[in-house]
Structure 1
Amino acid sequence: MSEGEGKQLLHLVFGGELKSLNSMDFRDLNDLDIVGIFPNYASAHQAWKAKAQMTVDNAHMRYFIVHMHRMLDPDSDTTTGS
């Protein structure tokens, strides 16, 4: 990390078609759309929003943001970022 950069708060953006609107089960795990891993919440949110807007006509399609940094270092204080 270079001087002036904050701590990396990695976020994964992915999505897929759900089996039903009342569940979080994906229709086909082999067909998940892995959008990417982003260095902060703001860039992850921007990617999530773009993908969600592209699939707005499919009610079963959902995209998610996973806070990877919380899984990699669960004891860290993440109150300064999302």
Structure 2
Amino acid sequence: MNADTDQKQLLHLVFGGELSSLEGITFKDLSKLDIVGIYPNYATAHAAWKAKAQATVDQAQMRYFVVHLHRLLDPETAKS
């Protein structure tokens, strides 16, 4: 085994796009969502989210999110 498989993967998805309104989380055009990537832990996902959020800071309706995929795939990890 290598170092990546020795630790349990807690997968996280980072994605974003332009919102229809600042008051909600409805995307203006789903075909234009920016799928940044899937990361093996929260720390790397947060770093990717932060980079994208800072790069789009001048676009008020752009929002990026971190989704805890591991919680969807294995609800028992929600306790982690």
TM-score of the aligned structures, taking structure 1 as reference length: 0.89
Q: Output one character per residue of 1:13-39: Cα deviation in whole Å (capped at 9) or x when no partner.
A: 000000000011000000000000000
Runs of 4+ deviating beyond 6 Å:
none
TM-score of the aligned structures, taking structure 2 as reference length: 0.91
Partner of 1:2: 2
Partner of 2:57: 56
**Unmatched segments (≥5 aa) in structure 2:** none
**Unmatched segments (≥5 aa) in structure 1:** none
Cα drift, residue 6 of structure 1:
1.3
Identity percentage of aligned residues:
66
Q: Which has the higher helix share?
A: 2
Aligned residues: 79
Structure 2 letter corresponding to 1:2:
N
Taking the aligned partners of 1:77 and 1:45, their CA distance within structure 2 comes to: 17
